């Protein structure tokens, strides 16, 4: 808990995020209050109990229905327009629409007209929410270092699902119990009318705060990067992005699997409670335990799993939810069913947290709104569809199928377990970042802390940047330029390379690259030599520098071995990656910059009229495979890679790299607007690094 409190304290010291979190708290409180206040207001318009029930259900349906029509275009708005203006406009519209509902009733006293307007307003409010939500999710990564996204998501999810609902219920209870206190206001003092006006005020405050006090939400400069295309083209671009990135596909399919299981569970809940010997009270208890598990997964999940990689944690969490469904399916008694519900909630909460964090880290800012919108809308559709199918099916089947213990609700829960587990396995196969290492063994080591398995994604307090690319792309030149830029900003920089960043590495480099060496290593020996250098380099240079809060910039890292030995030598990328991941304890750069150039041009530059080193003397086909591998790796992890075509002079390329680094790692906003945003780097900026920041010698290829 101490680490969690420290992380939350760190993110709350970042001014823009702190203000956004306050806005999200107001919006979440307003959403829950508005939903139940509107439903209660609709019920208050009728006296007949059946009409009251239909009014309540009608409000819920009207809030969900627009997802089917408008939802998939909402993300386009978040990516196409300034997100600060989008969010503030949406909050202002919610203020007007929510306030209009009781106002129409106050002015007209006409129930029929009020009901019609209430229905129209609910549809419009939901359309506004659909545009607001992806803009909000896509904005968060622009306000924080990526290493702090998980803690920020814990805070926002806990606020949305743990704090806001009880506050909303408490507000309604206070208004209803104190009705006599504001009865002097006449019709304005009716509890639900007053609740709606208070709710509207929340969104007015949120709109003002976002527009005037959080300019950082705007993010990128749309004037310079807006493509000349229509919204339909933006939509299809998002679909193509989804199809082209395995990690994103795995995340989305896994999340939808979890929601389908949740829908089936909620749908059969009433019937299942009866099967366990309970009644409605038992169903309410099962639902309460499910949400308690959800909250525990979000709050305690990261501490529980320790350093398990986040892609593996995501897939394992979905499979944990599947195991909870199996427990419920075979539960003989209510307390066993309650345990299963808690496991389902914990798995879903951890998967939700890990999935959102991975999407924020891995998805390009240009399409992030569309990806979040697609997930949100698809999840709603899947959830509603599963509930609509499961609830009547369980009730209908119960009337004519009876095999004692084997009831329809148990069968449906088991089907849900198979569905969720299968999709969790699918996500794991698409996202696994540690091939060759058993998942169960990895989880056990991480949970028990017997052998720490690093996440590979969080290098705080320092920052790790690697340059990759083929021969002659100018990596060393750009490493020097970026190093100088960081130093000018006050950071201590450890500039290094592979092989050659240590004395041992320099000797290994000579063995591998010397074209005149008559005893040149075989492909497998070459791969092992590179891996040995990398393991020593990571342990003796990179990790100590990161622990001191410094910026590490390396000329080549693991991807070079995957490209040169895995693809070029034909040894297999997965095997080479596993070897280096084991050697470095899965240390992964915060950002990998791939310099891209036609191999024929690059080789001519590198050789400079000479024969070149042993690698440069390989065939053009060898170097083309290397280039294709670098681009393929970058395509799979777009949030962690930056591909820079080397089609201009070095200064222009360097300017582009610096702009992208500032945007990707949030340096411009955080350093300019809030010096407490990245305290570890700022506090260590003046420390000496034992001479490690001197310029590197030129590589044998002349880069």
Query: Is the residue at 590 inside a domain?
Result: yes
pLDDT, residue 440, reads: 84
Query: Is the same domain home to 445 and 475?
Result: no
Beta strands 641-645 and 551-555: pairing type?
Answer: unpaired
Three-class secondary structure of residue 592 per DSSP: strand
Query: Is the residue at 234 inside a domain?
Result: no
Three-class secondary structure of residue 595 per DSSP: strand
Query: Is the same domain home to 571 and 552?
Result: yes
Bridge partners, residue 552, by sequence: 464, 494
Nearest to 153 by CA among 363, 18, 39, 298: 298
CA-CA distance, 37 to 31, in Å (whole number)? 10
CA-CA distance, 427 to 450, in Å (whole number)? 27
* Helix 334-362 with 280-305: angle, nearest 10 deg: 50
Query: Is the same domain home to 92 and 210?
Result: yes
Query: Is the residue at 332 inside a domain?
Result: yes
Residue 347 labelled as part of a binding site: no
Q: Is-contact 690 496, C-beta < 8 A?
A: no
Nearest to 454 by CA among 574, 306, 589: 306
Query: Is the same domain home to 334 and 193?
Result: no
Residue with tokens 């006090």: 213
Domain boundary residue, one of 427, 458, 489: 458
Q: Which residues contact 537 (CB under 8 A, 6 or more apart)?
A: 496, 498, 499, 501, 502, 505
Query: Is the residue at 387 inside a domain?
Result: yes
Query: Is the residue at 237 inside a domain?
Result: no
Domain boundary residue, one of 428, 458, 488: 458
Q: Which residues contact 285 (CB under 8 A, 6 or more apart)?
A: 278, 334, 338
Query: Is the same domain home to 194 and 299?
Result: no
Q: What is the pTM of this model?
A: 0.62
- Print the SS3 string covering 172-191: HHHHHHCCCCCHHHHHHHCH
pLDDT, residue 496, reads: 92
Query: Is the same domain home to 210 and 308?
Result: no
Query: Is the same domain home to 430 and 467?
Result: no
Query: Is the same domain home to 386 and 296?
Result: yes
Residue 471 labelled as part of a binding site: yes
User: What does each C-alpha distance from 31 to 74, 86, 209 come to in angstroms?
Assistant: 18, 18, 17
pLDDT averaged per 10 residues, the chain (length 703): 64 85 86 75 70 61 64 70 89 93 86 85 84 83 77 84 78 78 68 86 92 80 50 67 74 80 74 72 75 85 82 90 90 86 88 85 76 74 68 60 66 87 86 74 76 44 89 91 90 90 85 73 89 91 88 93 90 82 86 92 82 82 90 81 89 90 65 36 32 35 35
Q: Which residues contact 239 (CB under 8 A, 6 or more apart)?
A: none
**CB neighbourhood size of 652 (10 A):** 10
Specify the number of domains making up the chain: 3
pLDDT, residue 100, reads: 92
CATH number at residue 293: 1.20.1250.20
Query: Is the same domain home to 442 and 540?
Result: no
Query: Is the residue at 82 inside a domain?
Result: yes
Query: Is the residue at 25 inside a domain?
Result: yes
User: What does each C-alpha distance from 26 to 29, 198, 205, 300 come to in angstroms?
Assistant: 5, 11, 8, 24
Instruction: Label residues 611-640 b or e (16+ Cβ within 10 Å = b).
Output: ebbbbbebeeebbbbbbebbeebbebbbbb
Determine the distance from the C-alpha atom of residue 638 to the mean position of all C-alpha atoms in its chain, rounded to a whole number. Answer: 13
Residue 663 labelled as part of a binding site: no
Residue 469 labelled as part of a binding site: yes
E runs forming strands in 631-699? 641-645
Q: Which residues contact 668 (CB under 8 A, 6 or more apart)?
A: 662
Three-class secondary structure of residue 369 per DSSP: helix
> What is the arrangement of strands in the sheet containing 463-469, beginning at the earlier edge strand?
493-497, 551-555, 463-469, 591-596, 641-645
pLDDT, residue 674, reads: 36
Q: Is-contact 320 120, C-beta < 8 A?
A: no
Query: Is the same domain home to 352 and 296?
Result: yes
What CA dihedral angle connects 248, 251, 252 and 256, to 10 degrees?
A: 170
Residue 162 labelled as part of a binding site: no
How many Cα neighbours within 13 Å face the side chain of 369?
A: 30
Query: Is the same domain home to 76 and 103?
Result: yes
Residue 639 labelled as part of a binding site: no
Q: Is-contact 298 349, C-beta < 8 A?
A: yes
Tokens for 112? 């029929």
* Helix 111-139 with 15-44: angle, nearest 10 deg: 160
Query: Is the same domain home to 476 and 445?
Result: no
Q: Is-contact 460 587, C-beta < 8 A?
A: no
H/E stretch holding 596:
strand 591-596
Nearest to 345 by CA among 277, 261, 250: 261
Residue with tokens 């349906």: 61
Q: What is the DSSP string of 79-143?
A: HHS-HHHHHHHHHHHHHHHHHHHHHHHHHH--HHHHHHHHHHHHHHHHHHHHHHHHHHHHHGGGT
Q: What is the span of the domain harbouring residue 44?
A: 1-218
Query: Is the residue at 224 inside a domain?
Result: no
């Amino acid at each position: 808990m101490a680490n969690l409190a420290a992380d939350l304290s760190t993110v709350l010291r970042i001014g823009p995020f702190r203000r956004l979190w306050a806005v999200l708290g107001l919006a979440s409180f307003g959403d829950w209050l508005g939903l139940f206040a509107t439903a209660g207001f609709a019920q208050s318009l009728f006296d007949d109990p059946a009409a009251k029930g239909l009014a309540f259900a009608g409000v819920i349906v009207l809030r969900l229905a627009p997802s089917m029509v408008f939802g998939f275009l909402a993300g386009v708005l978040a990516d196409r327009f300034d997100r600060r203006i989008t969010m503030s406009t949406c909050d202002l519209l919610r203020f007007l629409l929510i306030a209009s509902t009781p106002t129409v009733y106050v002015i007209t006293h006409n129930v029929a007209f009020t009901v019609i307007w209430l229905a129209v307003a609910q549809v419009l409010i939901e359309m506004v929410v659909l545009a607001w939500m992806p803009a909000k999710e896509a904005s968060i990564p622009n306000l924080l270092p990526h290493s702090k996204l998980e803690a920020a998501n814990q805070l926002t999810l806990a606020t949305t699902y743990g704090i806001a609902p009880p506050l909303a219920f408490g507000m309604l209870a206070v208004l209803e119990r104190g009705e006599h206190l504001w009865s002097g206001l006449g019709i304005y003092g009716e509890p639900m009318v007053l609740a709606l006006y208070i709710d509207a005020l929340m969104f007015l405050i949120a709109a003002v705060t976002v527009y005037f006090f959080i300019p950082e939400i705007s993010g990128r400069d749309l004037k310079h990067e807006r493509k000349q295309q229509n919204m339909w083209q933006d939509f299809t671009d998002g679909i193509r992005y989804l199809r082209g990135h395995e990690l994103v596909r795995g995340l989305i399919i896994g999340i939808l699997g979890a929601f389908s299981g949740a829908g089936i569970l909620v749908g059969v809940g009433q019937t299942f409670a009866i099967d366990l010997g309970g009644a409605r009270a038992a169903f309410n208890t099962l639902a309460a335990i499910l949400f308690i598990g959800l909250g525990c997964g979000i709050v305690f999940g990261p501490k529980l799993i320790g350093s398990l990689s986040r892609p593996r944690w995501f897939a394992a969490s979905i499979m944990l939810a599947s195991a909870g469904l199996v427990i419920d399916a075979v539960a003989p008694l209510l307390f066993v069913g309650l345990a299963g519900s808690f496991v389902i909630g914990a798995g879903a909460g951890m998967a939700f947290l890990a999935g959102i964090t991975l999407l924020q880290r891995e998805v390009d800012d240009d399409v992030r709104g569309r990806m979040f919108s697609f997930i949100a809308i698809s999840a709603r559709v899947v959830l509603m569809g599963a509930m609509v199918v499961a609830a009547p099916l369980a009730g209908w089947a119960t009337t004519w199928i009876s095999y004692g213990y084997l009831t329809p609700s148990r069968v449906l829960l088991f089907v849900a377990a198979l569905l969720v587990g299968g999709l969790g396995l699918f996500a794991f196969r698409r996202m696994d970042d540690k091939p060759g290492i058993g998942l169960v063994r990895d989880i056990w080591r991480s949970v028990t802390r017997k052998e720490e398995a690093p996440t590979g994604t969080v290098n705080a307090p320092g920052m790790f940047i690697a340059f990759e690319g083929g021969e002659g792309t100018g990596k060393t030149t750009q490493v020097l330029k970026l190093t100088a830029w960081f130093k000018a900003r006050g950071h201590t920089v450890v500039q290094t390379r592979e092989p050659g960043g240590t004395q041992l590495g320099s000797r290994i480099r000579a063995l591998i690259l010397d074209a005149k060496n008559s005893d040149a290593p075989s492909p497998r020996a070459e791969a092992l030599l590179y891996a040995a250098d990398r393991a020593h380099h990571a342990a003796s240079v990179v990790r100590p520098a990161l622990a001191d809060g410094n910026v590490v910039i390396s000329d080549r890292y693991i991807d070079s071995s995957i490209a040169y030995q895995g693809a070029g030598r034909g040894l297999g990328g997965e095997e080479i990656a596993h070897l280096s991941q084991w050697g470095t304890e899965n240390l992964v750069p915060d950002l990998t910059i791939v310099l891209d150039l036609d191999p024929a041009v690059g080789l001519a530059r590198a050789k400079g009229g000479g024969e070149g080193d042993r690698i440069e003397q390989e065939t053009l086909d060898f170097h083309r495979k290397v280039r294709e591998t670098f681009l393929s790796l970058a395509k799979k992890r777009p949030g962690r890679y930056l591909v820079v075509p080397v089609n201009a002079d070095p200064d222009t390329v360097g300017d582009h790299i610096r702009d992208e680094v500032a945007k990707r790692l949030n340096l411009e906003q955080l350093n300019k607007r809030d010096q407490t945003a990245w305290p570890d780097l700022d506090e260590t900026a003046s420390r000496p690094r034992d001479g490690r920041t001197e310029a590197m010698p030129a590589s044998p290829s002349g880069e």
